[in-house]
């Protein structure tokens, strides 16, 4: 069959559905059938699955003209999805094609939810089309004889590549692809990505720099212009609207008319605990919604999630309170309206969420922004501009993640083993490890085999062995078993399964939350009030309770930050408050009372001004700085400035950051004049000082946690399985101390610092901000009391950083243990 005949099959199918293929779909079919690799830039709900499932099936038809009568078994294509919740949906769209075209192709899913039985069956006979996650793909690489599984694979599609790209799962994918390129000679690699700032780079990362695969590739853009309308929910009484907070419950009643006037509404919250609270509160205030609203987040059990997703499709729900768990994939035609509660911290994410409504092509998407505190209205206004200008942020890929590489090497050593020389060349072709030197490579190999860089006496370290012919192989079953458990846990805290005492899985929860509970405590989880009974083998046993509670299950989640472009928009919105009314957005106008108060107690800075505020409360001396550059830049600048000040005289700081500014809180007053006289905002020695400040704070320590888990130094166990590994559990914090004291040059220990540097502190942006500050007039206001701008910062108790140049003995002289009086 020639290509035209193949296209006809596809076009006919589209005609039967009364659809017309989009240009991007046809372009993708063509490129794929030409044997090209590529990146498809298309939003959710645009028909992107058909852009790639079709050519995969057509290619099979081409190679097997008797496809209707004969079935050639074996894996033909892999579809990678970051969320296993999406796999059903993807499977259905694939099956539609394989059935309608009368092929005998089979479609299967392999993820953490797949039963052991099904897995074993798959091992005997792989489905033709396999839908899986990055972790499960790694697990396949950990099976003996994996090369046979992938031998005839013609395609791998990485869906939602933009979500995976900037994470360590992205690195996992890069490594898996580098291997597959060599075991699957007919492989095409395709990625699907929503719009991000660095699409070209996203393609480089997917295919490998300077690779043959990249040379033979295309970037296809869907260019579907979708109309998005953003509306801010503006508090009717600005005077009583809070200056701080992150829940947004003050505006709950304003949400009700929106829900009532549309078929189905999705309410996006930023955290799972916020999701739980909103769900609870809506029902409490409006019991008439019982049965008509639901909740959806990543820690609720699969059955409930699937039920909710289906209910959205059947239009049997008025509203769903959800988290990023509904960001991706899944097509929900009935959703008419989306409400974003609190700052989405990213234009791309905001657009994606907006796209969840009016999902059919051509329909308008409507998204409401609900601010959780006053200053967030500035963000709302900036978001409107960003949507208009289509300003989206970059997703930054990781470089030299030694932890992921060690995990990958162990994975290969478990299955068929590897020869370092060959593998080095393969690994070096990935984007992540392009600069990996042979020395570092040798270091990693030594670490795998000896657990150190030289053979020690009195050592029983056991992991990877070197066989006689030089092959690296794991021969110990225990090591292999523990490693398999570990592959899935690329991120996240230790998760415990929540179950009723009599059985019945409700969901999973992070250990840090449960560790705060005592027997008999009641907490809210998955919309239920549950009494905590005990923890038994990684399972939290609970029973239903009628008691009221205000303990709501919470999860740490990751912190996001504003991009450079978004920060600039934000500053401009702020500056517009000093301009004539006609230049102000409705959000800025609504904030008039707040700006008035801010001007009374301090100033609202103009573009040429940099504001510093100082005042004293019973908490101590507050020093506030407002660069308006986004959280990460503030973390960097706060640490840098804190460190430089701490060199002048012994002092201890508690630091708080948000997207607008940062605070240095101390028990002593800082002489701001001295700070200015000493030119402490200078870019000179910035890098050096920043590095030193990292040792003074605990940022790297927190980063180390993931590194320790991924590289297999900390065992987390496995939720639901409850494997006993108690004697092997330690905290990454303890490990961090041991490395600091005994092996500070360890690459994994160093990696924690490098990552903080590259991914959290955004050194490049810090330099630009400092240069901007150098060109501004510094306005130092000694205020009598907290100002509106300062409020969200000084009241932040949760995510503070510490920095000190005082001796411990001197510090604790001023301290005491607190005894709570009941």
User: Site residues for other proteins, window 556-595 (CB under 8 A)?
Assistant: 593-594
Binding test (CB under 8 A) with other proteins, winner from 727, 775, 784, 798: 727
Contact window for other proteins (CB under 8 A) among 7-15, 189-197, 493-501, 652-660: 652-660
Instruction: State the Cα angle at 664 between 659 and 665, rounded to 5°.
Output: 125
Of 405-434, binders to other proteins (CB under 8 A) are none
Instruction: Give the residue carrying structure tokens 């953003």.
Output: 230
Strand order in the sheet with 522-525: 505-510, 495-500, 539-544, 528-536, 522-525
Binding test (CB under 8 A) with other proteins, winner from 438, 537, 579, 619: 619
809 binds other proteins (CB under 8 A): yes
820 binds other proteins (CB under 8 A): yes
242 binds other proteins (CB under 8 A): yes
Q: Which helix (H) or strand (E) holds 32?
A: helix 23-33
User: Whole-number minimum distance, CB 527 to other proteins, in Å?
Assistant: 27
x-or-dash pattern for other proteins, window 256-295, by CB under 8 A?
A: ----------------------------------------
Binding test (CB under 8 A) with other proteins, winner from 120, 290, 798, 819: 819
667 binds other proteins (CB under 8 A): yes
Distant-in-sequence, close-in-space partners of 135: CB < 8 Å, separation ≥ 6? 112, 169, 172, 487, 488, 490
The residues facing 191 across adjacent strands are 39, 158
Q: Is 672 helix (H, G, I), strand (E, B) or coil?
A: helix
User: Whole-number minimum distance, CB 553 to other proteins, in Å?
Assistant: 21
74 binds other proteins (CB under 8 A): no
**Calpha distance 700→638 (Å, rounded):** 15
Which CB atom, from 258 or from 665, has the smaller least distance to other proteins?
A: 665
For 783, counting Cβ atoms within 10 Å of its Cβ (0-12 exposed, 13-18 middle, 19+ buried), the class is middle
Of 167-226, binders to other proteins (CB under 8 A) are none
Q: Say if residues 159 and 82 touch (Cβ distance below 8 Å).
A: yes
Phi then psi for residue 458, to 5 deg, are: 50, 50
Which CB atom, from 419 or from 461, has the smaller least distance to other proteins?
A: 461
Of 732-761, binders to other proteins (CB under 8 A) are 733-735, 737-739, 741-743, 746
**Calpha distance 42→36 (Å, rounded):** 18
Q: What is the DSSP letter of 330?
A: -
Structure tokens at 816: 């005491």
Q: Where are the beta strands (DSSP E) in 363-447?
A: 365-370
443 binds other proteins (CB under 8 A): no
Closest CA to 79 of 71, 70, 89: 89
Q: Say if residues 395 and 165 touch (Cβ distance below 8 Å).
A: yes
Which CB atom, from 543 or from 616, has the smaller least distance to other proteins?
A: 616
Q: What is the DSSP letter of 546?
A: -
**Calpha distance 749→403 (Å, rounded):** 10
Site size toward other proteins, by CB under 8 A: 72
653 binds other proteins (CB under 8 A): yes
Binding test (CB under 8 A) with other proteins, winner from 462, 536, 720, 724: 462
303 binds other proteins (CB under 8 A): no
Length of the chain, please? 822
Binding test (CB under 8 A) with other proteins, winner from 116, 458, 582, 673: 458
User: Whole-number minimum distance, CB 595 to other proteins, in Å?
Assistant: 11
Of 765-794, binders to other proteins (CB under 8 A) are 788, 791, 794
714 binds other proteins (CB under 8 A): yes
User: Whole-number minimum distance, CB 817 to other proteins, in Å?
Assistant: 5
Closest CA to 45 of 322, 329, 264: 329
Contact window for other proteins (CB under 8 A) among 456-464, 545-553, 562-570, 716-724: 456-464
Of 472-491, binders to other proteins (CB under 8 A) are 476, 478-479, 482-483
Contact window for other proteins (CB under 8 A) among 332-340, 533-541, 634-642, 711-719: 711-719
818 binds other proteins (CB under 8 A): yes
Of 117-176, binders to other proteins (CB under 8 A) are none
Binding test (CB under 8 A) with other proteins, winner from 116, 775, 797, 798: 797
Contact window for other proteins (CB under 8 A) among 59-67, 188-196, 453-461, 528-536: 453-461
User: Whole-number minimum distance, CB 444 to other proteins, in Å?
Assistant: 11
Could you write out the DSSP letters of every residue in 58-99? Answer: HHHHHH-TTTTT----S--EEEE-S-GGGHHHHHHHHHHHHH
**Calpha distance 383→395 (Å, rounded):** 18
Could you write out the DSSP letters of every residue in 245-282? Answer: -SS-GGGHHHHHHHHHTSSEEEEE-SSHHHHHHHHHHH
243 binds other proteins (CB under 8 A): yes
Which CB atom, from 581 or from 809, has the smaller least distance to other proteins?
A: 809
- Beta strand 652-657 with 662-666: parallel, antiparallel or unpaired? antiparallel
Binding test (CB under 8 A) with other proteins, winner from 120, 581, 798, 815: 815
Which CB atom, from 15 or from 799, has the smaller least distance to other proteins?
A: 799
**Calpha distance 290→21 (Å, rounded):** 41
Q: Say if residues 587 and 380 touch (Cβ distance below 8 Å).
A: yes
Contact window for other proteins (CB under 8 A) among 38-46, 583-591, 766-774, 804-812: 804-812
Give the side-chain half-sphere CA count within 13 A for 352. 27
């Amino acid at each position: 069959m020639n290509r035209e005949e193949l296209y006809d099959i596809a076009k006919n199918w589209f005609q039967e559905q009364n659809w017309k293929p989009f240009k991007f779909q046809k372009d993708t079919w063509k490129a794929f059938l030409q044997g090209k690799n590529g990146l498809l830039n298309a939003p959710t709900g645009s028909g992107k699955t058909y852009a790639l499932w079709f050519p995969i099936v057509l290619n099979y038809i081409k190679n097997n003209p008797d496809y209707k009568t004969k079935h050639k078994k074996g894996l033909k294509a892999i579809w990678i999805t970051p969320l296993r919740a999406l796999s059903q949906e993807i499977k259905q769209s694939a099956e539609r094609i394989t059935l309608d075209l009368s092929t005998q192709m089979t479609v299967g899913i392999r993820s953490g939810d797949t039963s052991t039985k099904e897995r074993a069956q798959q091992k005997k006979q792989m489905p033709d089309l396999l839908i899986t996650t990055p972790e499960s793909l790694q697990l396949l690489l950990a099976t003996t004889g994996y090369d046979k599984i992938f031998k005839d694979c013609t395609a791998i599609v990485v869906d939602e590549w933009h979500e995976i790209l900037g994470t360590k799962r992205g690195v996992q994918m890069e490594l898996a692809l580098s291997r597959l390129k060599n075991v699957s000679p007919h492989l095409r690699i395709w990625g699907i990505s929503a719009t991000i700032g660095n699409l070209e780079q996203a393609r480089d990362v997917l295919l490998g720099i300077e690779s043959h695969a990249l040379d033979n590739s295309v970037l296809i853009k869907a260019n579907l212009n979708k109309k998005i309308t953003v509306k801010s929910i503006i508090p009717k009484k600005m005077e009583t609207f809070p200056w701080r907070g992150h829940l947004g419950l003050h505006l709950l009643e304003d949400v009700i008319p929106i829900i009532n006037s549309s078929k189905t509404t999705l309410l996006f919250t930023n955290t799972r605990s916020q999701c739980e609270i909103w769900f609870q509160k809506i029902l409490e205030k409006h019991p008439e919604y019982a049965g008509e609203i639901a909740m959806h987040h990543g820690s609720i059990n699969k059955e409930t999630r699937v039920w909710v997703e289906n209910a959205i499709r059947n239009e049997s729900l008025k509203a769903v309170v959800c988290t990023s768990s509904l960001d991706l994939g899944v097509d929900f035609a009935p959703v008419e309206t989306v409400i974003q509660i609190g700052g989405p911290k990213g234009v791309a994410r905001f657009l994606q969420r907006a796209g969840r409504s009016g999902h059919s092509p051509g329909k308008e998407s409507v998204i409401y922004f609900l601010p959780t505190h006053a200053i967030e209205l500035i963000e709302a206004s900036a978001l409107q501009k960003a949507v208009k200008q289509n300003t989206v942020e970059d997703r930054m890929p990781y470089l030299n993640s030694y932890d992921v590489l060690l995990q990958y090497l162990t994975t290969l050593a478990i299955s068929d083993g590897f020869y370092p020389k060959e593998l080095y060349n393969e690994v070096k072709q990935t984007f992540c490890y392009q600069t990996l030197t042979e020395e570092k490579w040798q270091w990693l190999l030594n670490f795998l085999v000896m657990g150190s860089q030289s053979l020690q006496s009195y050592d029983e370290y056991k992991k990877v062995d070197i066989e006689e012919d030089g092959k690296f192989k794991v021969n110990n079953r225990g090591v292999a078993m523990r490693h398999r458990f570990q592959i899935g846990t690329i991120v996240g805290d230790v998760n415990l399964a929540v179950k009723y005492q009599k059985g019945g899985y409700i969901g999973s929860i992070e250990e840090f939350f449960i560790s705060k509970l005592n027997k008999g405590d009641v907490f809210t989880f998955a919309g239920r009030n549950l009494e905590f009974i005990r923890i038994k083998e990684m399972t939290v046993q609970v029973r239903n309770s009628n008691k009221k509670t205000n303990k709501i299950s919470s999860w740490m989640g990751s912190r996001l930050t504003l991009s450079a472009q978004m920060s600039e928009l934000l500053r401009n919105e702020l500056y517009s408050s000093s301009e004539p009314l006609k230049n102000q957005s409705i959000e800025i106008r609504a904030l008039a009372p707040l700006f008035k108060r801010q001007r009374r107690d301090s100033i609202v800075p103009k573009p040429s001004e940099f504001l510093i505020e100082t005042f004293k409360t019973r908490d101590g001396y507050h020093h506030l700085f407002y660069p308006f550059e986004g959280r990460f830049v503030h973390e960097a600048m706060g640490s840098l400035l804190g460190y430089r000040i701490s060199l002048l005289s012994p002092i201890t700081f508690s630091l708080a950051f948000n997207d607008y500014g940062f605070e240095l809180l101390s028990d002593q007053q800082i002489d701001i004049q001295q700070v200015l006289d000493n030119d402490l905002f200078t870019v000179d020695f910035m890098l050096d000082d920043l590095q030193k400040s990292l040792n003074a704070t605990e940022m790297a320590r927190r980063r180390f946690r993931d590194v320790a888990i991924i590289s297999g130094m900390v065992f987390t166990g496995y939720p639901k399985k409850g494997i006993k590994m108690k004697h092997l559990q330690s905290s990454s914090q303890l490990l961090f101390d041991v490395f600091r004291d005994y092996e500070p040059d360890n690459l994994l220990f160093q990696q924690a610092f490098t990552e903080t540097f590259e991914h959290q502190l955004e050194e490049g942006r810090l330099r630009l901000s400092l240069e901007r500050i150098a060109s501004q007039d510094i306005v130092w206001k000694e205020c009598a009391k907290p100002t509106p701008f300062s409020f969200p910062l000084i009241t932040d108790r949760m995510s503070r950083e510490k920095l000190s140049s005082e001796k411990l003995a001197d510090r604790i002289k001023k301290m005491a243990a607190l005894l709570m009086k009941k």
